[in-house]
Structure 1
Amino acid sequence: MVIGQTSNVKRQTSNVKRQSSIVNLQSPISQSPISNLLFLLGWLAIPLAVYFVVLQKRPSYEPRYMMLVTPSLFLLMGVSFAPRRRWEVVFGAAALAIFAVGLRSYFTDPAFFKDDSAGVANWLAVETTAEDIVFVDVPHPFHYYADRIPAPTRYLFVDIHTAAGVLNREALGRRRLYWVTWYGSDTDPRGVIPFLLWKQAGPPAGERQFRGYRVEWYTLSDRPFSLPTDLPPAQVNFDNVLLLDGLAYSKTLSAGEAGWATLHFRLLAPTPVNYKISLRLRAPDGRLLSQVDKLILNDRHFQTAAWPLDDPALNQALNVFTLPLTDPAYSGPLTLEAVVYNAATLDAIAAYGVPTTNNDFISAQIGLIQVEK
């Protein structure tokens, strides 16, 4: 009995010592304002330093990126609201002054204004009817405003292989289509949606600019939306780097109507160069009546330097072009030309397999278009 009691006393004494040790370890942290302040400063400074390094590689900012350090920021500001020393008062006043300057810029400098998504929604609420349809290329924040817009409002994920089918299913039979694009969007760098809309409806009926957004609208026809996929074969070799192996285009046009072309490229050899293509319509007298320059992009929107030669899904590209004429009264033949060039240096590369304009070896003549009166 005595032995058991002695054992219990020893265990209790040991537990008290352990608890005392834990308290002693915690006390310097919990009771030291300097340690707390250093902890908060580290919480603020370390993530910001890491983010600064990331910015050197990928400059991008959104307010939500600050969520990680926001608690420490406000806790540090809170220190100044219960000052015990004069330097804390000075620190708090300086912090408030700095933030006041930033706050003034936020509300008075247009460079800091937010995108006017509410303005777009309010304008669409007045301009559209239930017979129209609205497509946006970014879903946020338009899902907050969709109920106030009479026309159905949809987010359109742009896939070059399915976009025509989506438009036929959602938009065919509507009176007008409104296409809302955000200035920072990379949803449709190849311009697939404007290409399909021009083919189906002609040029935009109107355009409106908002802060951060552009709205184009089209008066739709009865024709279905279409994008050629099984292209007639072609064999135009651009300097043994790129092969134009498929081509479809508008062979006849009415006066004032825009031409269109769909080109398929395949990579022949790895390249460190990002290439662009200049597609042109040239009259017999040498006049250039249309020119569109675009980066050659694959389905992942990769430029040519990033195409993997051994991946059939990514070493090829389908690109689309709308070619409005600078002279709407012109009628007669036009030559469709293609020039591939280095996007950085603008140096064109040689074209083989077809005639070139003035035997310049770079302006590949890939088709003929007749513009009728």
Structure 2
Amino acid sequence: MSRVTKTDVFLILILTCIAGFFRFHQLDQVPTGLWRDEAANGLEALRVLDGSLSIFYGTREPMFIYLVAISVAFLGRTPLAIRLVSAIVGTATIPVTYLLVKELFRSTDQRARAIASLTSLWLATSYWHISFSRLGFRGILLPLLASLSFYFLWRGWNQLTRLRDYGSSQRSLTLVWFALAGLCFGLTMYTYTAARFLLVALVLFLGFVASLGWRKARRRGHGHATTSPPVSPLKAGAVFGLVFLLVFAPLGAHFVTHASSFFARSGISVFRLAQDEPLGLVLAENTVRQLGMFGLSADPNVRHDTAGRPAFDLFTLLFFVVGAAVCIQRWTQLPYLFLLSWFCVMLLPATLTYPELPHFLRAIGALPVAYVFPALGVERAWHWAPTKRFPRKLRPALAALLALCFAVSGLFTYRDYFSPAVEEMELVKAFDPRFVEVASLMNELDAPDSVWIIPLGPNGEQRMAYFVIDFLYQGQAPHVYIPLDESTAPQELSLACQGRRRAMVLNRTADAVSQPWFDLYADSKGLIPFLLHQQAQSLERAATDGLEVLVYELPSNVSFSMPSGFAPLDMAFGEELRLVGIACECAAFSAPRASVVMRWQVEEQPTTDYTVRVALEDDSGKTVTSMDRVLLSGEGRSTSEWDAGQEEIGYFTLWGLPAETLEGYNMSIALVAPRDGERSSVSEERLVSAALCSQPDTP
């Protein structure tokens, strides 16, 4: 009979402590920031705490979200509250995997304990598993519940087939194991999309067992039976299946009535994205690329693989190959057949997708079993070693060498994860630390009579990035997202600012101009400040990495608008761009200023990125005030990406006017092109009479 001894308890405690160190060490600092998908889980958790309970959240299974809700209820709205759930789940996977592997090979006694210990040690120091144990992704639940369900299943299976007389209590206990297996197996469906393939793995395994024949499979797996099992396999299977269906029923009913939820991730499958290529060739290439994660290739997604390294090091890969060969050689024995079925099928969620491979996250269902193979490889080498050329007395030296290899592997894992050799900008892109800092700044500057204005560009992913702010911001002032559309932004900004004394705007900092990626998350053209400058007074700014907060004092009644009444122009700036219209309005809320809007037309596709320089000159040609701004499209694209025939507008605020009117002044408009690195040249310059401007408009 398989039982947990004091030795097992001691080993489990040691292995769990090792796993806990790698998963909890500096959890509040590494990884930096908070990714949008993690924040989205946090937002759903907040809805749970508000009483909005659901069986499915968008494209997300609910279990992780409910666990995060519990964590947030105790720890508050912090990145740690989300990631702590993953760390606990990841650490708990180690003892469960130990019990599963020991139960799987329990007929071999000491071998079972050795294989279980090695598997759990590898898993405890696994770079692959550590990475997801420190991220707020729901996929981390799958290895835990898959291992737990298979542990109960094998516990019941072994009790069903062991060689001894059974009483009624043992008969009932056998069914309990199968019921617990069905319970946990049903719960896996609430963890991660890839869990659905577990059912395929189980059916495939049972299909092979049926093809081998019950008696033949039992004999090869555990010896010859001398007594009838206490309950029939069909009855045990019925208990497992019934409990599984009862647990899965609510989610299954949701899928029946909301088929789009079930097929939400089908858009990334090879069957849809690789239609122009032979499917067999694509599947073969994907299989090779996915298998490359075990020692050859890194996951291209930095969030999954901050060190840019394979899931296995060379030490693990060597014994993985040996262990896989052992499994293939013994495939007709149930434990090995089970391992092969589990591993191969649970790689399919990654193999059947396109094109980012290898993909560590989608293959996470194969994670526990992947480390059984190297453990089998070590066990095989250990029993193969004592020969005439390698006497048994050298075993202690072999054990010391293995221990040294594990220690070195663990040190490399620590170095690779906590000090990754990846460019800082790649980590910034991967984890959005700016938005964690911005949310902290928003909480610090919050005032109940204010409103937060967050520009929302045309990039659809930008709104998802702001999930981080939505989750972490806890202030009293509302935060409003204003789409950067010149036709709608003035009205939406006016509504957001009504009844507020201050507007606090999230904007980019000047040094972010050199980083195009930052422009996806900022008001690159300055539309919101341009509108606010019409009537609001700029008070202060608070900067963080790449972004800043601009604070404006608002009048009691606000009504923002774009300058209207474009004066037609026909000014050619070289052969590429033409100024076809201009509109100006003056205001004197706190200091005289002019709002200028220009309409540009593309004659030929520009070959460079232009900056517009606007200067107000008096009759003598002396510059009174000026402003430079990069000429951008509504989507934030620079002029070198514009197409012939395209029309765009640019807007400027000229400060320091000598009066509340532009009468008697000229406006100098120049296109500035970069030349030879840091130097620039004025390619064209034109003068526009101030008579084209409208009359003063003083609020």
Normalised TM-score (structure 1) = 0.66
1:300 and 2:635 aligned: yes
Which position in structure 2 is the counterpart of 1:279? Answer: 614
Q: CA-to-partner distance for each residue in 1:60-82, whole Å, 9 max, x for gaps?
A: x7626879225579769957995
Which position in structure 1 is the counterpart of 2:534? Answer: 199
Question: How far 1:116 moved relative to its partner?
Answer: 5.2
Query: How many angstroms apart in 1 are the aligned matches of 2:289 and 2:587?
Result: 72
> In the alignment, which of 160, 166, 170 is matched to residue 486 of structure 2?
160
SS at match of 1:341: strand
Question: How far 1:194 moved relative to its partner?
Answer: 0.9
Show structure 2 runs of 5+ residues with no match.
1-206, 213-287, 307-357, 382-397, 456-462, 513-517
SS at match of 1:363: strand
Query: How many angstroms apart in 1 are the aligned matches of 2:589 and 2:449?
Result: 29
Conservation of the 8 A alpha-carbon contact between 2:563 and 2:596: no
Conservation of the 8 A alpha-carbon contact between 1:81 and 1:92: no
> In the alignment, which of 213, 217, 236 is matched to residue 551 of structure 2?
217
> In the alignment, which of 93, 107, 120 is matched to residue 407 of structure 2?
93
Show structure 1 runs of 5+ residues with no match.
1-14, 21-37, 52-60, 350-361
Letter in 2 for 1:94: V
Conservation of the 8 A alpha-carbon contact between 2:595 and 2:652: yes
Q: 1:171 to 1:77 in 2, by over 3 A?
A: farther
SS at match of 1:169: helix
SS at match of 1:277: strand
Conservation of the 8 A alpha-carbon contact between 1:181 and 1:213: yes
Letter in 2 for 1:319: G
Q: CA-to-partner distance for each residue in 1:232-277, whole Å, 9 max, x for gaps?
A: 2122111232111110124676995333211000112233333222
* Count of aligned residue pairs for this structure pair: 312
Q: CA-to-partner distance for each residue in 1:34-66, whole Å, 9 max, x for gaps?
A: xxxx997613577648x4xxxxxxxxx762687
Query: How many angstroms apart in 1 are the aligned matches of 2:570 and 2:560?
Result: 28
Letter in 2 for 1:323: L
Q: 1:247 to 1:40 in 2, by over 3 A?
A: closer
1:142 and 2:456 aligned: no
1:171 and 2:502 aligned: no
Letter in 1 for 2:686: A
> In the alignment, which of 230, 234, 245 is matched to residue 569 of structure 2?
234
SS at match of 2:688: strand
Query: How many angstroms apart in 2 are the aligned matches of 1:88 and 1:185?
Result: 51
1:43 and 2:293 aligned: yes
Query: How many angstroms apart in 1 are the aligned matches of 2:526 and 2:626?
Result: 15
Q: 1:254 to 1:158 in 2, by over 3 A?
A: closer
Query: How many angstroms apart in 2 are the aligned matches of 1:226 and 1:154?
Result: 18
Letter in 1 for 2:360: V
Question: How far 1:316 moved relative to its partner?
Answer: 0.5
1:309 and 2:644 aligned: yes
Conservation of the 8 A alpha-carbon contact between 2:497 and 2:558: no
Q: 1:335 to 1:225 in 2, by over 3 A?
A: same
Q: CA-to-partner distance for each residue in 1:319-338, whole Å, 9 max, x for gaps?
A: 1112234999xx99543211
Which position in structure 2 is the counterpart of 1:322? Answer: 653
Pairing 1:258-277 to 2, within 5 Å after superposition: 258-277=593-612
Query: How many angstroms apart in 1 are the aligned matches of 2:568 and 2:663?
Result: 26
Query: How many angstroms apart in 1 are the aligned matches of 2:621 and 2:373?
Result: 74
Which position in structure 2 is the counterpart of 1:364? Answer: 686
Letter in 2 for 1:320: Y
Query: How many angstroms apart in 1 are the aligned matches of 2:469 and 2:637?
Result: 28
SS at match of 2:531: helix
Question: How far 1:100 moved relative to its partner?
Answer: 2.6
Q: 1:253 to 1:245 in 2, by over 3 A?
A: farther
SS at match of 1:243: strand
The CA RMSD measured in Å over matched residues stands at 4.5
Question: How far 1:216 moved relative to its partner?
Answer: 1.1
Query: How many angstroms apart in 2 are the aligned matches of 1:210 and 1:293?
Result: 23
Query: How many angstroms apart in 2 are the aligned matches of 1:232 and 1:65?
Result: 55
Query: How many angstroms apart in 1 are the aligned matches of 2:305 and 2:654?
Result: 41
Which position in structure 1 is the counterpart of 2:10? Answer: none
Is the strand fraction higher in 1 or 2?
1
Which position in structure 2 is the counterpart of 1:12? Answer: none
Letter in 1 for 2:492: V
Query: How many angstroms apart in 2 are the aligned matches of 1:89 and 1:304?
Result: 61
Identity %: 17
Which position in structure 1 is the counterpart of 2:359? Answer: 68
Query: How many angstroms apart in 1 are the aligned matches of 2:666 and 2:588?
Result: 13
Normalised TM-score (structure 2) = 0.38
Question: How far 1:296 moved relative to its partner?
Answer: 2.1
Which position in structure 1 is the counterpart of 2:578? Answer: 243
Letter in 2 for 1:43: M
Q: CA-to-partner distance for each residue in 1:5-25, whole Å, 9 max, x for gaps?
A: xxxxxxxxxx99x957xxxxx
Question: How far 1:115 moved relative to its partner?
Answer: 2.1
Conservation of the 8 A alpha-carbon contact between 2:451 and 2:502: yes
Conservation of the 8 A alpha-carbon contact between 2:663 and 2:690: no
Question: How far 1:94 moved relative to its partner?
Answer: 3.4
Conservation of the 8 A alpha-carbon contact between 1:115 and 1:212: no
Query: How many angstroms apart in 2 are the aligned matches of 1:347 and 1:246?
Result: 24
Question: How far 1:180 moved relative to its partner?
Answer: 1.8
SS at match of 2:636: coil
Question: How far 1:120 moved relative to its partner?
Answer: 3.8
Letter in 1 for 2:550: E
Question: How far 1:213 moved relative to its partner?
Answer: 3.3
With 175-184 and 119-128 compared, the bigger mean Cα shift is at 119-128
Which position in structure 2 is the counterpart of 1:127? Answer: 445
SS at match of 2:499: coil
Q: 1:294 to 1:142 in 2, by over 3 A?
A: same
> In the alignment, which of 668, 676, 679 is matched to residue 337 of structure 1?
668
Letter in 2 for 1:271: P
Query: How many angstroms apart in 2 are the aligned matches of 1:75 and 1:327?
Result: 74
Question: How far 1:141 moved relative to its partner?
Answer: 0.7
Which position in structure 2 is the counterpart of 1:27? Answer: none
Conservation of the 8 A alpha-carbon contact between 1:251 and 1:368: no
Q: 1:344 to 1:365 in 2, by over 3 A?
A: same
Query: How many angstroms apart in 2 are the aligned matches of 1:159 and 1:262?
Result: 14
Question: How far 1:125 moved relative to its partner?
Answer: 3.6
Letter in 2 for 1:161: S
Q: 1:272 to 1:185 in 2, by over 3 A?
A: closer
Conservation of the 8 A alpha-carbon contact between 1:80 and 1:92: no
